[in-house]
Structure 1
């Protein structure tokens, strides 16, 4: 009798334990086998000018071509294009044209043509956020003067066999005359007032004589909300980076200018600090001030002078610093005037800075910020310090000269 009574709870406990262990034996309901995935590393968005429909080009990897055991002679990637009106439709049509379903989380770059960028893009990118099929750290760029698809094709100057990997490296090592921005940064600026997005520009340089055709990352694409408003040239982009961009690599690139004696001076920019301050009095916005402090190295001077005393070197460097400050100040002024008068886009984030420092003043002007921004008075101050000159007392020119 006692044995039967004691055995009932034991059986129940055993069954409960067995049921609990089943929880650890379940698999993922939405799992995807690696052999069934078509890994996409880059996408391009063009527009059919006749129908207004979008053309999505996806770059799929061919794993067999990159095998270290038995590689195939085929290209390591394949481009698949589809035409449609929405991103889900485009992705579904793409899957019909390839033997594996597209897997987009490993996508490195999103390129869009000028036509697509001018028509507005947030409604297209909404699917990326809603479905989380493309991660927000993917690079974002506008194709200037060419189709977006052409930039996903094989490049003659690429060491990497995958065009998307080549483009990813361009963004990672971007110079000071180029903007490198990802999808997340675009979302942040396009969805708020007070700062307009600036993203990368990719183009194809046809080259001259013996120089092959190359893919070029330079300049910046300026947006008004989510629509393309215009472009910054390389000089304007450098000024933009001095004010806005954090240091990406060891240096901010090189800045060269024509000195007063007609020779070329090149400065390597190694550190910077920039501030944008709103000037407010009696609850009203008077002006803005931009202060940029740059730490540089003198990397080249053509031709280099001969110095006999250290005092001569110090005087020479002081003079170069003043000339650089004057040139850079003019470049930043030109950038602000272009943003105010031509592009009508607050690319430096004056409105955002006003909101953070003086929210009550921002509330007075935010509904009509475009008109206020066009007439803003902006003061610019630039301070240049040459940390290292590498100067030698003697000249590198032959004595006979």
Structure 2
């Protein structure tokens, strides 16, 4: 009898547990979804948004019959009074619902970025539960839809290639920046709503490459920065990981017009805002460490030689970084985070200065001092290889 009661108890327990299990009441088959890899947004008409989505075609093989290459993606164009409306119209073309969880990149052209509030324009991707907040954002020169037509070099889609380019170029060359939806919102919702976004350019042969930065002020694009200024801003904002620093030769005759290379391993920048007599003074320092990548005209056979070489690099970097700082002051765009640092340090003063911060930043006295450390020559020879 006891054994029978135990058996009944186990059966009842299993039945009760079954009621707690979740079911697939809202399941959607994979064949009913189109996986979006990238999206291009362009606002060329008042109140109308043009949308191009790149859908991955997983069933396509890399090569077809006869060795001909087949595209592993398809681009669909829609438009609407909002991105939400344009998204819903994708089904009319594809016959499937757009799935945003695998999206790699969001592309906007310069004109759209200059005339639209970026956070307002991209609000759909912040609200939708499928879109990843880590999706990267990119500005393009020319129509963004043209960039999604570019055939990728190695990746399955150009959207994946853009994603990899930003990630790896930022970590190895120091000439590219990675900004995702999260970082963009954090920057534009801060006390100083200024930030930078990477810019891509389409070459005549159909190759897309990174080429500088877009300057964003109050959620709209207001200008650009060059590729060299990209490196400077990354260094000044502690976003520079690794890259190559070219040091011009200074000797006359042999080596004139050439440059030597330093493999930068790390750059650490600090800032200290100081308020004196109602004016702002900022003390900035940077510490740069790296290896000698190549020598063309400098001999490092004695300690004095290395000391002079390091001082030359230090002076060059101080002048170069200060030049970029002065450029941001000229434009009245605080891209260094000084205003946010001041807000954290002295919120009472910031409350008084916030309204005219652009003008105050332009007039601020910013000082910059640096130190350079050579870690290795990457060889036992402390002079150019061709020299005896």
Match of 1:238 in 2: 231
The answer (yes or no) to whether the contact 1:259–1:323 under 8 Å persists in 2 is: no
Aligned match of 2:39: 43
Structure 2 CA distance, aligned partners of 1:383 and 1:195? Answer: 31
Distance across 2 between alignment mates of 1:394 and 1:105: 53
After superposition, give the CA deviation of every residue in 1:198-246 in whole Å (9 maximum; x if it has no partner).
111111133xxxxx54211131111002100111101111110111143
| Shift in Å, 1:285 | 4.5
Q: Provide the secondary structure at the position in 2 that maps to 1:181.
A: coil
Q: Which moved more, 1:128-137 or 1:94-103?
A: 128-137
Tell me the SS of whatever aligns to 1:266: strand
1:1-400 aligned within 5 A: 18=15, 21-24=18-21, 26-49=22-45, 51=46, 53-66=48-61, 74-119=70-115, 120-144=117-141, 146-155=142-151, 158-174=153-169, 175-194=173-192, 196-206=194-204, 213-248=206-241, 252-261=242-251, 262=256, 263-281=258-276, 284-303=278-297, 305=299, 310-311=301-302, 314-342=303-331, 344-389=332-377, 390=379, 392=381, 395-397=384-386
For the 8 Å contact 1:278–1:285, the answer to whether it is kept is no
CA distance in structure 1 between the partners assigned to 2:135 and 2:231 by the alignment = 23
CA distances 1:360-383 after superposition (whole Å, capped 9, x unpaired): 322231232122112111111121
Contact (CA 8 Å) 1:46, 1:112: kept in 2 or not? Answer: yes
Taking a change above 3 Å as real, the CA distance of residues 319 and 58 of structure 1, as seen in their structure-2 partners, is same
Evaluate the alpha carbon distance shift between residue 328 and residue 195 of structure 1 in structure 2; reply closer, same or farther with a 3 A threshold. farther
* Structure 1 residue 117: Cα displacement: 0.5
Q: Secondary structure at the match of 1:64?
A: coil
Displacement after TM superposition at 1:72 (Å): 11
What SS is found at the alignment partner of 2:122? Answer: helix
Residue 48 of structure 1: how far off its partner (Å) = 2.6
CA contact (8 A) 2:279 2:364 kept: no
The DSSP-based 3-state class of the residue aligned with 1:345 is coil
Instruction: Note the C-alpha offset of 1:20.
Output: 5.3
Whole-Å separation in 2 of the counterparts to 1:129 and 1:178: 24
After TM superposition, give the deviation of residue 17 of structure 1 in Å. 6.8
Measure, in 2, the Cα distance between the counterparts of 1:291 and 1:395: 31
Q: Secondary structure at the match of 2:28?
A: coil
CA distance in 2 between counterparts of 1:143 and 1:378 reads 32
Q: Which secondary structure does the structure 2 equivalent of 1:132 belong to?
A: coil
Is the 1:195–1:347 contact (alpha carbons within 8 Å) kept by the matching residues of 2? no
Question: Aligned-pair distance for 1:29?
Answer: 3.6
Deviation at 1:303, TM superposition (A): 4.0
TM-score normalised by length of structure 1: 0.85
Normalised to the residue count of structure 2, the TM-score between the two structures is 0.87
Report the CA distance between 1:328 and its aligned residue. 1.4
Q: For the Cα contact (< 8 Å) 2:259–2:296, is it kept in 1?
A: yes
CA contact (8 A) 1:65 1:72 kept: no
Count of residues paired in the alignment: 373
Q: Name the CA distance, whole Å, in 2 between partners of 1:213 and 1:162.
A: 14
Distance 1:20 1:296 in 2: 62
How many Å apart are 1:385 and its aligned residue? Answer: 1.1
Structure 1: give runs of 5+ residues left out of the alignment.
1-6, 207-211
Unpaired runs of at least 5, structure 2: none
The 3-state SS of whatever aligns with 2:295 is strand
Separation of aligned partners in 2, 1:385 and 1:394: 18
Distance in structure 2 (CA, Å) of the matches to 1:61 and 1:286: 52
